[in-house]
Structure 1
């Protein structure tokens, strides 16, 4: 199965160009769409989910023309938006039966089997009789996955699903996505690099409504091999280092010094130490290079 987007563009009435000639192919597996807030990720997710139309471009899921045959796409789509909404005071089991009936699953035995499977996959079987309104944030997100699984979707879209979750809830939620990601196209939109690092077999970095890069995480990291350099500096030295080097990130040490990471094909000077790159380096280097191109 393949999702193909070609030359997708969208400009809002206020003049903001949310999508700028987006062209990409996405195949089965976990696909991470990584970018800062305001990059255009949610606009792209809503466009693929047929909730808004682009100004130009085409979109196909295999032979389904997404922009012209919305109903066929919706039959095989599972979508978890960034804000999933308010829940009535119903148990998870009852609410899933309600959603299943809305999706046209009329046979009671079939519906019960699908509901139980969704609850089991999302680790909610033991709390199926509890009101969803009283669930924690992570449990609500897992319930969101449960409801989208009811129609056995071929394409699953989740938009910023781990934002606001505590570490244990985030871990459980990612495990659920990992389990369902092998047999579906799962597009995982986030600004959290670690989510993509832990979960995805393919990824793209987006900003300013454009796809800046498209690689597997492994390929993206390997491309920076030998190009990341680190050094510990004092806080008041940061501005000078930012002016002199391609500084991509910094973080505090316990003694209030800063550990800086610099991108360059050669050692900046003998005081810098070579470090193995990681996915965060890929993200920051890509955004920095895009910023330099725009500034030029």
Structure 2
């Protein structure tokens, strides 16, 4: 992640692009705002500032947090110093209730909440704190006053939490996590290869890795041989292994063609633009994502069957009575 601080001129340029009426309309109508922030990122680049869409999104969220805090404290001069862009933000957010922003709407979606909670629970399970918090705080330090799903980490089977998180990654198309997802699935399948057929294993693992590579190629900041090479090396390893497997010529040819495509996207900006405008959504769009979801669903289903969670009756040897 780029750790450079934001200059005042850069921040003003960001706010100006974000505050445009057409942008605000899109943010208000959409739950999935990555493409909108990608447009904002491109506008910044046109003005000489290089920031990724995610950096733009996080900066705006931070600015809104500062604005809300300053507004809650009745806009005193002391408070305004902690929000130097108050006036610019006031013109956009001043007429809205504090809780009515596109980030709040996004966070309220059930699948987003489940994804965030399960990912937090997995992280918490690694440390297993001895205390349970009475009150929780969000990333900006605001108290939300209720216990998150992760507080139940000691009574929810870890496998169920992991499975829920992995499924949400694929369901939401969170490509930024596909590399980690592929690493996890690879580790499990090395131990229990029978969870999927050989062809299904390759399709799932390489399908996830391919989406990561194409996502990198789409972004000028990361569309470089240095950024993409580790992923290509992993794919090359699979191509080499195909020689050891029967009836793998089709799979090998498919991956070889994909590598050629990636090299073209990296080397030829014109071909890259044409590909993402006309071809990407057809070949790597909804049908592709549905196929990945089907494979991931089968993987998780078979993993659940391999490691079933015993019910109460099984745990107690059948000595359970239910009294009204």
TM-score, with normalisation over the residues of structure 2? 0.26
Max radius of gyration: which structure?
A: 2
TM-score, with normalisation over the residues of structure 1? 0.28
